[in-house]
Amino acid sequence: MSDQTNNNILDEVTKGEYKFGFYTDIENDLAPRGLTEDTIRFISAKKEEPEWMLDFRLKAFRHWQSLEEPEWAHLHHPPIDFQDIIYFAAPKKKPQLNSLDEVDPELLETFDKLGISLDEQKRLAGVAVDAVIDSVSVKTTFQDTLAKHGIIFCSFSEAVKNHPELVKKYMGTVVPYTDNYYAALNSAVFSDGSFCFIPKGVRSPLELSTYFRINAANTGQFERTLIVAEEGGYVSYMEGCTAPMRDENQLHAAIVEIIAMDDAEVKYSTVQNWYPGDKEGKGGVYNFVTKRGLCKGHRSKISWTQVETGSSITWKYPSCVLMGDNSIGEFYSVAVTNNFQQADTGTKMIHLGKNTRSTIISKGISAGKSNNSYRGLVKIMPGAINSRNFSQCDSLLLGDKCGAHTFPYIDTRNQSSIVEHEATTSKISEDQLFYCNQRGIDTEKAIGLIVNGYAKEVLNKLPMEFAVEAQKLLSITLEGSVG
Amino acid sequence: MLLNIKNLTVAIEGKEIIKGLNLQVNKGEVHAIMGPNGTGKSTLAAAITGREGYEVTEGEIWYKDQNIVELEPDERANLGIFLSFQYPVEIPGVSMTNFMRTAINAQREYNGLPPMPAGEFLKLMEEKKKLVDIHSKLTNRSVNEGFSGGEKKKNEIFQMALLQPTLAILDETDSGLDIDALRTVAKGVNELRSNENAFVVITHYQRLLEYIVPDFVHVMYDGKIVKSGSKNLALELEDKGYEWLKEQSLV
């Protein structure tokens, strides 16, 4: 079948809508628009932070001022006016919450709409939730249950207040504020996020999860997550995010730091569904995120699994620094772009310790006029003897107006290590679509089925509850613009 | 009448392949369509099932009292038209179970029925697997991925058994089959035959028709049916080859 016919079929496929695009009318406490040292003092004061926290922010801010926005990514967007953003927005009714009954009903409704229940049901499903709306964490569930095991799971602000020694010890050790432009920005203005500490020998009995929601207009969201697993600790952590549909672009610049000590394991799963902009490419979230895990201990393991369906721009490279001997880093990614979305995503695996192993499985799916790039670095240092990496980067193209790009960087500095890289590019064939059609499955469903099949290897890595959500999201994202 | 094809002309990229074909099929009948390579047999199957790129330039295809020429392929499928593919397609990562469940529920949705409960579906699968002698393992694998030639064809009949079409078109189902697989496939088809459905069996060789005995045999040549008859016509073809028909059609 000719490409032309193929494209016609794909062109016709559906008109999808972003279903989380609603806006909730919640009274907000806003910082004045723009970014100066005063803004930072304002945020810090609002959060009643100790002096050392403010110092950290100011240092980061001064460093940020000396930097320029990076341009190396395969992304195009008009310059961001960092003075036109509101850096802090908090729902006004933010009391000390003792029970769910005290949560603003509007907020609860918001989370209900998102399909996130903060109530007992989640516990039955074995999930504890921290819900972050705009700049603050509104509710963390099941802290008591977790506390019995010595696990700390709370908002970042609470951690600064209640566990300053832990925050001081670990914050910025994996992603220093000098790391990059957006990391510096985040370090200066971050508002909230989640903090998780798994003590020695404890396996978390619950899946932990954070839901991020940008709600207020013209605001940026800058959250920070810090996860520490001590010797032999284990936790599976999930992150989900959505935003209202707005014509203007919104900025999201987050930092996630993970530290795993000897024999500890952290699984971090993300379903990223920020508003991607409309079919003409108007609006959408600019998602500039620095995520990095440090396998500090021997035999430690960190795995990143991400399903990226949202944002108009995604700039994100969840990475692992394999410092401990025999430590393991994994990166499983499905990135879908549609319409005018752009994604430049991938990972870095830095091998320092002996016998370290890393696996990279990346599945890119591009549709519409979107651009999807995999960018990855595998670096094996001289001391990382007998290390191994396996990378597989597959691209699936839907239509002929989209782009798929792969930028693998490999840097091996010893003779005993083995690095493998495989890459494929494919299209959904007209034969496959007709085969499905002939069994009564319409083209839209057929694409969903085929794409989910293509991404299965990665979806299988997600916790059960997330996998179902992710599968639906993949289909929804490709509605409307497979052309 | 279940299927009534009137004066059908089909072109691929402007080139006429089927040139004024007529065919009538009633419920309860099995029709065999034979003929040499390149005479338009598979094109006929594609035109009935509505494959993109097969342009009906003239004529009509009436099925269950409506002209289906303008209908989408999935709608035709949901109306009960099934094609057993000559070259079944692989869909990596999609298990047979998931694929068939999606297909059955699409059909049910089309007919205004709720999705089939999982338990009922699995029971149905088990039942139909026996019909074509399919191993349990096969249904856990991705659609047609790594299946042998014989497994692929059996899998087509398995899908047919699950979807229970009113009109089933078997396109060269016998090609690439050894005698045991051929028997299994034929057995499956024969068990599905009833007064409520009909089969159009496209084949090169008389061999398949020993196992699936047709009520009518049609011979296609150069985009037309040039001769129709009883099952004896197939034997006659086996005996004489197609050459004598060519001469006949030129007259």
Per-residue pLDDT tens digits for A196-214: 999 999 998 888 877 766 6
Residue B157 belongs to some domain of the structure: no
pLDDT digits (tens, 9 = 90+) for B80-91: 999 999 999 999
Q: What are φ and ψ of residue A20, in 5° steps? A: -105, 20
Q: What does the block give as tokens for A141?
A: 């569930």
Selecting from A5, A445, A454 the residue whose C-beta is nearest the C-beta of B93 gives A454
A contacts of B50 (beta carbons < 8 Å):
437
Q: What is the pLDDT of residue A3?
A: 40
Q: Is the backbone of residue B7 left (phi > 0), alpha (psi -120 to 50) or beta?
A: left
pTM over 0.95: no
Is 90 exceeded by the pLDDT of residue B106?
A: yes
Residue (of A251, A229, A213, A270) closest to A90 by Cα position: A213
With an 8 Å Cβ cutoff, are B77 and A454 in contact?
A: no
Average pLDDT over every residue of A243-255: 72
In a domain, B107, yes or no: no
State phi, psi for A213 to the nearest 5 degrees: -140, 120
Residue position matching structure tokens 């997330």 = A466
**Can you tell me the distance from the alpha carbon of A206 to that of B25, in angstroms, rounded to the nearest whole number?**
62
Please state at what angle helix B118-132 crosses helix B179-192, rounded to 10 degrees. Answer: 130
Please enumerate residues of A whose Cβ is less than 8 A from a Cβ of B.
1-2, 5, 8-9, 429-432, 434-443, 445, 449-450, 452-457
Query: Which pLDDT score, from 0 to 100, does residue B242 have?
Result: 77
Instruction: Give a yes or no: residue B14 inside a domain.
Output: yes
pLDDT (mean) for A302-331: 91
B107 → closest Cβ in A5, A440, A453: A440
Confirm whether B110 is domain-assigned: no
* Predicted pLDDT at A331: 94
When divided into structural domains, chain B yields a total of: 1
Mean pLDDT of A261-273: 91
Residues B107, B102: Cα–Cα separation, whole Å: 9
**Residues of B at the A interface, defined by Cβ within 8 angstroms:** 13, 49-53, 72-74, 77-78, 82-83, 85, 88-94, 98-100, 102-103, 106-107, 110, 142, 159, 163
Write out chain B residues lying below 8 Å of A5, CB-based: 52-53
Write the DSSP symbol of residue B116: P
In which residue are the tokens 């723009």 written? A34
Average pLDDT, chain B: 91
Instruction: State the alpha helices, DSSP H only, in chain B.
Output: 41-49, 73-78, 96-110, 118-132, 136-140, 149-163, 179-192, 207-211, 232-240, 243-250
Residue A155, domain member (yes or no): yes
Residue A456 and residue B74: Cβ atoms within 8 Å? no
d(CA A94, CA A220): 19
DSSP designation for B70: T
Is the separation of the CB atoms in A248 and A164 below 8 Å? no
Rounded to an integer, the average pLDDT of A245-258 is: 79
At A140 the pLDDT is 60
The confidence band for A2, taking pLDDT boundaries of 50, 70 and 90, is very low
Domain count, chain A: 1
Q: State the distance between the two ends of chain A, measured CA to CA, in whole angstroms.
A: 16
Q: Residue A10 above 80 pLDDT?
A: no
User: Cα–Cα distance between A21 and A244 in angstroms, integer?
Assistant: 4
- pLDDT at B21 > cutoff 50: yes
Q: What is the ipTM of this complex?
A: 0.96
Out of B83, B91, B100, closest to residue A438 by CB: B83
Q: Do A455 and B93 touch (CB under 8 A)?
A: yes
pLDDT digits (tens, 9 = 90+) for B165-177: 999 999 998 888 8
Q: Considering the domain boundaries, does residue B46 fall inside one?
A: yes
Q: How far apart are CA A315 and CA A309, in angstroms?
A: 13
Q: Closest to B89 (Cβ–Cβ): which among A431, A445, A457?
A: A431
Is A438 close to B98, i.e. CB distance below 8 A?
no
Q: Which domain, by its residues, includes B229?
A: 3-92+166-250
Which pLDDT band, with edges at 50, 70 and 90, does A169 fall under? very high
pLDDT of residue A359: 95
Model pLDDT, residue A243? 58
Contacts of A432 in chain B (CB under 8 A): 89-91
Q: Provide, as residue numbers in chain B, all residues whose Cβ is less than 8 Å from the Cβ of A438.
A: 49, 73-74, 77, 82-83, 85
The answer to whether residue B137 is domain-embedded is no
CATH number for the domain spanning B229: value is: 3.40.50.300
User: Binning pLDDT at 50, 70 and 90, where does residue A246 land?
Assistant: low
How does DSSP classify residue B242? Answer: S
Task: Please tell me the predicted confidence (pLDDT) of residue A8.
Answer: 38
Question: Which one-letter DSSP state was computed for residue B89?
Answer: P
What pLDDT is attached to residue A12? 37
Residues of chain A in contact with residue B72, where contact means CB-CB under 8 angstroms, are 437, 442
* pLDDT band, very low/low/confident/very high, at A109 (cuts 50, 70, 90): low
pLDDT band at A7 (very low <50, low <70, confident <90, very high): very low
Residues of A in contact with B107 (CB under 8 A): 440
Q: Which of B72, B85, B92 sits opposite A454 (nearest CB)?
A: B92
pLDDT score of A94:
45
In this predicted model, what pLDDT tens digit does every residue of A332-385 receive, in sequence order?
A: 998 888 888 888 889 999 999 999 999 999 998 888 888 888 999 999 999 999
| Residue A426 placed within a domain | yes
Give the 3-state secondary structure of residue A29.
strand
Q: What's the mean pLDDT in B143-161?
A: 92
pLDDT given at position A282:
77
Within 8 A by CB and 6+ apart from B188, the residues are B131, B132, B154, B157, B158, B160, B161
- Averaged pLDDT, A242-259: 77
Decide if B73 and A1 are in contact by the 8 Å CB cutoff. Answer: no
pLDDT in tens, A400-412: 888 888 899 999 9
* Dist CA A213 CA A24 (whole Å): 11
Task: Look at the block and give the residue holding tokens 């108007």.
Answer: A282
| Residue B104: inside a domain | no
Residue A258 has pLDDT above 50, yes or no: yes
**Residue pair A288/A183 in contact by the 8 Å Cβ criterion:** no
Find the CB nearest A438 among B73, B93, B94: B73
pLDDT of residue A61 exceeding 60, the answer is yes
pLDDT of residue A1: 37
Q: What is the pLDDT of residue B150?
A: 87
Q: Please, which pLDDT band fits residue A116 given cuts at 50, 70 and 90?
A: low
> Among A363, A365, A439, A475, which would you mutate to test the B interface (most chain B Cβ atoms within 10 Å of its Cβ)?
A439
B145 in any annotated domain: no
CB pairs below 8 Å between A and B: how many?
83
The pLDDT of residue A123 is 41
Give the residue on A whose Cα is nearest the Cα of B160.
Answer: A439
Which residues on B lie below 8 Å from A455 (Cβ)? 93
For A41-50, A151-160, A235-244, A284-293, which range has the lowest pLDDT when averaged over its residues?
A: A235-244
* Strands A342-351 and A319-322, bridge-based pairing: parallel
If you average pLDDT over every residue of chain A, what do you get?
81
- Considering the domain boundaries, does residue A483 fall inside one? no
Q: Do B77 and A439 make contact, defined as CB atoms within 8 angstroms?
A: yes
Q: Which of A429, A434, A450 sits opposite B94 (nearest CB)?
A: A450
Higher confidence at residue A291 or residue A473? A291
- Report the pLDDT averaged over residues A423-432: 88
pLDDT at A399 over 90: no
Q: Where in the sequence is the domain holding A398, given as residue range(s)?
A: 3-478
Instruction: Choose among B53, B93, B110: nearest Cβ to A5.
Output: B53
